[in-house]
Amino acid sequence: MTTAATALPLLSLRITAGPVELRGITDDLLGPIADLALDIHDPDFMPFFGPWSLSPSRDMARVVAQYYWGLRASFSQDKWNADFAVFYEGELVGCQGFSTRDYLILRSGETGSWLARKFQGKGIGTAMRQVICAFLVDHVDAKHITSAAFADNPASLAVSRKTGYTDNGSEPFNRMGKLATLRRIALDPANLVRYQHELTVAGLPEFRTSIGLD
Ligand SMILES: CC(C)(COP(=O)(O)OP(=O)(O)OC[C@H]1O[C@@H](n2cnc3c(N)ncnc32)[C@H](O)[C@@H]1OP(=O)(O)O)[C@@H](O)C(=O)NCCC(=O)NCCS
């Protein structure tokens, strides 16, 4: 039967590793993701490039849905994002993303992630990053993975370090009208620290075809 996942195989991609499951973001997950996004960090701290996470609660569902709908609408082999809802022991906890440009040439892209505050500091952020990086390296032929975090975000930088990323420079950044330092980090697949559980991937052949690999 033809479904939305026929049009966009990312929607039915599922990566499972022990208690961690990454699922393509279908419409039924947008509301629950928006609910979680209402409490990611203190209002006086901004871990993201843009302040979407400070959206008023009445706007959050629209902000979240439009973001993912926009990524779906612009998905192409030249520029695609693979964003996942993250489940831990069956409970939705946050999101993990990977964004690319010219992937067929570069085999490179950037990871980004967040957890609702109540799920932070329990090792889940490290687990989900190790899982997506293993997926990218082992199943999608990634050769170079980057990420970035503000210098005042030690949890994100620690997750990167624990996944095998190393420093790749820093730059000034205009964060909500104030100077911040953005630290760039990069992962050579040879340095990947793997999660303790093996990955199982459902929907891979269709996804690989959709990004032009097969
Ligand atoms: C960043 C984030 C995804 C990390 O996930 P997490 O589950 O909280 O992280 P983990 O529990 O796996 O690991 C956090 C590590 O950071 C370390 N850490 C946390 N706060 C720290 C601090 N203030 N100083 C030094 N290290 C710190 C922890 O000690 C831990 O390392 P350890 O296990 O070696 O002790 C999560 O905290 C989050 O969503 N934060 C808000 C959004 C965000 O910052 N997203 C990333 C944008 S770049």
Quote helix, strand, coil % in the chain, to nearest 5.
Answer: 40, 30, 30
Helix (H) or strand (E) holding 208, with range, is helix 204-210
Length in residues, the chain: 214
Which pLDDT belongs to residue 48?
A: 98
Does any ligand 1 atom lie closer than 6 A to the CB of residue 169? no
- CB-based burial label for 1 (10 Å; 0-12, 13-18, 19+): exposed
Q: What is the pLDDT of residue 42?
A: 97
HSE, side-chain direction, 13 A CA sphere, residue 160: 27
C-alpha distance from residue 207 to each of 7, 8, 9, 61 (Å): 10, 8, 5, 27
For a mutational test of ligand 1's pocket, the pick from 120, 153, 181, i.e. the residue with the most ligand atoms closer than 8 A to its C-beta, is 120
Percent of the chain with pLDDT strictly greater than 90: 100
**What value does the mean pLDDT take over residues 141-161?**
98
* Mean pLDDT of the region 16-32: 98
Compute the mean pLDDT over every residue in the chain, rounded to the nearest whole number.
Answer: 98
Given the structure tokens 């996944």, which residue do they identify?
Answer: 163
CA 124 to ligand 1 centroid distance, Å: 9
pLDDT at residue 169, as a whole number: 98
Q: Does residue 114 have its Cβ closer than 6 Å to ligand 1?
A: yes
Confidence of residue 177 (pLDDT cuts 50, 70, 90): very high
User: Residue 85 — very low, low, confident or very high, per pLDDT cuts 50/70/90?
Assistant: very high
- Which ligand 1 atom is nearest residue 40's CA? 41
pLDDT of residue 193: 98
Which residue's CA is the nearest one to ligand 1's atom 28?
155
Tell whether ligand 1 has an atom less than 6 A from the beta carbon of residue 118. no
The helix (run of H) or strand (run of E) holding residue 54 is: none
Residue with tokens 């701290």: 45
Q: Is the CB of 95 under 6 A from ligand 1?
A: no
Instruction: State mean pLDDT over 173-190.
Output: 98
Query: Do 53 and 95 form a contact (C-beta atoms < 8 A)?
Result: no
Task: Locate the ligand 1 atom nearest the alpha carbon of residue 94 and give its number.
Answer: 39
